Structure 1
């Protein structure tokens, strides 16, 4: 389903952009964001709001992608709340973020705006940032960005995210890297080193959850091999839909977060 930008967000973003940009820089910003067409007529506020409304109407563009790029420079600039004019900008940014959340929209680093359907993975992004694990940002953002437009690519990114975490773990803990570095081989090494053995868990309910989680990791790797964009398709055609990709991403999120938290607790390697 194609998501459009709510009118409330259009008004807030349009006001902010028109206050912070000149006509020339405003035109450059919309060009960078991929907004369609020539600059609308009118003052800066009218121009900005009209242009964003046009983004919603043009079926050749993804409105949330354009919105993310429009917000990128403002949401990621470093501001000092002790300076009055910068404090005003901080308040304005927070107002836009709060309004977006009411509509189930969330801004992610790198100029990405995603819907509430993606929010379970947000906690993983927070954990990555808290622990300076910049290794995973690329695959994490690629998975979120492609889930609706290219589900096969999103599945590949979800698997790559898990692979990356496992490879970093192996390198940091000076373990022997397997000859084949697909998800299953690197995961097996990490699983063994961290003592991920569901059979040793006394609680029966928790044992079932862990068994399922470990099976999910292997399933994500196999789905990437058989159905993602990373490999050519064989005789069996996998009809991958966004809901399948979303399931893989959310599952990869859960497994990744559990691995990272366990690593931090047992090895204190961060």
Structure 2
């Protein structure tokens, strides 16, 4: 589904770009991001706004262009983050200020910047919470699959479904290794999940509360469903006679379900350690 750059984002860039970029560097920035057409006429604010609106009208994937446009601001080098001292006063880096503005406005528009120049609209509260939780943990496979799911949710939903399953598989394998548990012979999603859920006490039969039993039973069923979905419909396996018509909304369902479960597993794991 084609999504345009939201008006509030256009407003922030039209206000901020002119104070940071020259006419020449603005042209270079937009052309590097594959913005359509020649540079518009006018002042820097007029040029920026006109080009962003043209991207919305003419670009096949406006959010992909936006990701490339703001990549150098969202991933600024450490030296560009330092404050400047002018007449004894500390002045915050303009690029850093723009980055913080963009983070805030993207969040308000239910968008998220993903490293590498990508904009995702597949995030939800579980995804944002999971992203915060895995920061600082040395689990590169988890971060890679997290980003792959969000980057591909619209353009390649099959790829996103595959990543949604892989994030669970990666998490369960890390848990087994870190907790020195016996590795199952077959290390597919269902088998590593059995080991993890047993160690964390995710057994519906051990609970007295009927409502919690239902939730845990549903969680177990969700893992099975995500694994089956990857097998039958994602890019991880070849298709047979039946071709699944995967839509971005299907990919979001798989991603949000996987992220909710991963969040629950990590929080339970942390509590167990304490």
Identify the TM-score tier after normalising by the shorter chain: 0.7 to 0.9
In the other structure, the counterpart of 1:16 is 16
TM-score by length of 2: 0.85
Bigger drift between 3-12 and 213-222 goes to 3-12
The C-alpha deviation readout for 1:31-72, integer Å capped at 9, x for no partner, is 443323333334433332222112101142x11222223223
Partners of 2:62 and 2:72 in 1: how far apart?
17
Aligned positions of 1:186-197 closer than 5 A: 186-197=192-203
Contact 2:120 2:153 in 1 (8 A): no
Count matched residues: 267
Q: 1:82 to 1:206 in 2, by over 3 A?
A: farther
Displacement of 1:184? 1.4
Unaligned runs of 5+ in 2: none
Partners of 1:87 and 1:71 in 2: how far apart?
16
Partners of 1:158 and 1:125 in 2: how far apart?
14
In the other structure, the counterpart of 1:36 is 36
Aligned positions of 1:39-58 closer than 5 A: 39-58=39-58
Displacement of 1:89? 5.1
Instruction: Find out whether 1:4 has 2:10 as its counterpart.
Output: no
TM-score by length of 1: 0.86
Q: 1:109 to 1:119 in 2, by over 3 A?
A: farther
In the other structure, the counterpart of 2:155 is 149
Partners of 1:147 and 1:90 in 2: how far apart?
28
Contact 2:123 2:150 in 1 (8 A): no
Partners of 2:135 and 2:175 in 1: how far apart?
17
